[in-house]
Amino acid sequence: MINKTSKWKQDFFTIWAGQAISLITSAILQMAIIFYLTESTGSALVLSIASLVGFLPYAVFGPVIGVFVDRYDRKKIMIGADLIIAAASALMAIIALYMELPVWMVMIVLFIRSIGTAFHSPALSAVTPLLVPEEQLTKCAGYSQSLQSISYILSPAAAAFLYSVWELNAIIAIDVLGAVIACITVALVRIPKLSLEQQSLNRNFMKEMKEGLVVLKENKGLFALLLIGTLYMFVYMPINALYPLISMEYFAGTPIHVSITEIAYASGMLAGGLLLGLFGNFKKRIILITASIFMMGASLTISGLLPPSGFVIFVVCCAIMGLSVPFYSGVQTALFQEKIKPEYLGRVFSLTGSIMSLAMPVGLILSGFFADKIGVNHWFLISGMLIIGIAVICPLVTDIRN
C-alpha cells in the first residue's frame, strides 16, 4: 500500500516544494490583509473577528470535513481546496481594481480561504503516510515543520515590504500563483488511492463521523496524548496573541521589538524542525514530547519573572520556545500517522484539529481578561507554571508512556 521505494523522497519533496511556495504566498497575503484591515479600520475588534473567521470553520466543520477526506480521492481534495482558495482570492483582486474593498467582503474571502484550508490540511496529513515509509514519518514531520517556520520568518518582512510598494491586488495575484503551483506539484505525484472497502462510500455519514472518535478512543495512548495536547493548547495559544503586548507594554518596545521576538521564535522553530528531520528516528518519543512541553513552560516562566529591562533574555526565551515546538507537534503528527489506519486518518486529523481550534477562543477570552487584571508578565508566569505541570503529568499517564 505504502510506496516504500526510493521514489518516496522524490514524491514527498515534490509535493512539499509546492506546499512551501503556497504556504509562503498565503502567509504574505494573510499579513497584508491584517495591514489592510488595520489601516482601513484601526479597530482591534475587527482584527479579532478576522482571526476568529480564520479558524472557526476548522473548529466547527472539522469532523464533517474529515469524512469527505476519507471517502474521496485525497489528491483531488487537495487540488480542489487550493483552487477554491485561489478563486476566492482572485475574485477579491478583481473587485479591488474597481473599488475600495469593504471589510465584510474581506471577511467572506477569509472565511472561504479558511474552509479551503480545513479541507487541505487533514488531506495533506493523511496523504503523507501513503507516500512515506513508516520509519521516516517523524523525520518528514520535522522537515514539514521547518518549511512552516521559514514561512513564519519570511512572511512578515515580505508582506511589510510588498504592502509598501504594491497594491493589495498585486499581492493577492502572487498568492493565486502560489496556489496554482501547489496544485501542479500535487498533480505530478501519483498518490496511492484507498481501496473501495477502505473508502466505504455507501455507509452512513453520521456513523462514519463518529468512527473517527471511536478509532481515536480505541488507541488509549493517542487519546490521552490528545487530551494533554488540548490542555496544553488551551494554556499556550493565548500567549501567542500576547507577544506584541508584553514586548510593547511591559518591555516598553516598538513594533520592531515585536518583529524581533517573532523572528527569534520562528528561527528556533526552524532549527527544531531541522534537528527533528536529522534525528527523527529517536525511539523514546515520549521523552521528546515531555522535554518539548517542559522547555516551553520553563521559557514562559522565566519570561514572566524578567524585569522590564530584560528584553534580550526574553528574545532568547522566544527562540527556545520556537525550538521546542517541532518536538511536540511534529512527533505527535508522526505518531498519529503511524498508529491510525490510512482510511481513518482524514477523520482523525480533522477531529484533532477541530478540538485544538475550539480550545483556542476559550483560552483567548480567559487570557485577555486575566492579563488585563493581573498584568501580561504575570500571565506569562502563570502559563509557564501550568505548562511545566502538564510536562510533569504527561509521562506519568500510563497509556501515553506505553
At 254 the three-state DSSP class reads coil
Report if residue 2 sits inside a domain: no
Report if residue 195 sits inside a domain: no
Same structural domain, 349 and 219? yes
Pick from 317, 201, 324, 208: which is nearest to 272 by CA?
324
Report if residue 200 sits inside a domain: no
Per-residue pLDDT of the chain (402 residues; tens, 9 = 90+): 444 456 777 888 888 888 888 888 887 887 788 778 777 776 666 766 777 777 777 777 777 887 777 777 778 888 888 898 889 888 888 888 888 888 888 888 888 888 888 888 778 777 777 777 777 777 777 777 777 767 767 777 787 788 888 888 888 888 889 889 988 988 888 877 765 544 555 566 666 667 767 777 777 877 888 888 888 877 887 676 677 778 877 888 777 787 788 888 888 988 888 888 777 666 677 888 888 999 999 999 999 999 989 999 999 999 999 999 888 878 887 787 777 777 777 777 777 777 777 776 676 666 666 666 777 788 889 889 999 999 998 888 776 666
Residue 363 belongs to domain with CATH number: 1.20.1250.20
Same structural domain, 57 and 90? yes
Same structural domain, 373 and 248? yes
Domain region containing 353: 208-400
Same structural domain, 256 and 370? yes
Report if residue 21 sits inside a domain: yes
Same structural domain, 213 and 166? no
Among 155, 189, 223, residue at a domain's last position:
189
Same structural domain, 184 and 216? no
User: For the chain, how far is it from start to end, CA to CA, in angstroms?
Assistant: 27
Same structural domain, 137 and 256? no
Same structural domain, 221 and 151? no
Same structural domain, 183 and 327? no
Pick from 122, 7, 102: which is nearest to 61 by CA?
122
Report if residue 311 sits inside a domain: yes
Report if residue 372 sits inside a domain: yes
Q: In total, how many domains does the chain have?
A: 2
Among 189, 222, 239, residue at a domain's last position:
189
- 108 neighbors 50 (Cβ within 8 angstroms): no
**pTM value?**
0.71
Same structural domain, 228 and 369? yes
Same structural domain, 106 and 32? yes
Among 189, 218, 237, residue at a domain's last position:
189
Report if residue 153 sits inside a domain: yes
Same structural domain, 229 and 350? yes
Computed on alpha carbons and rounded to an integer, the radius of gyration of the chain in Å comes to 21
Report if residue 196 sits inside a domain: no
- 273 neighbors 145 (Cβ within 8 angstroms): yes
Alpha helices in 44-102 (DSSP H): 44-71, 74-98
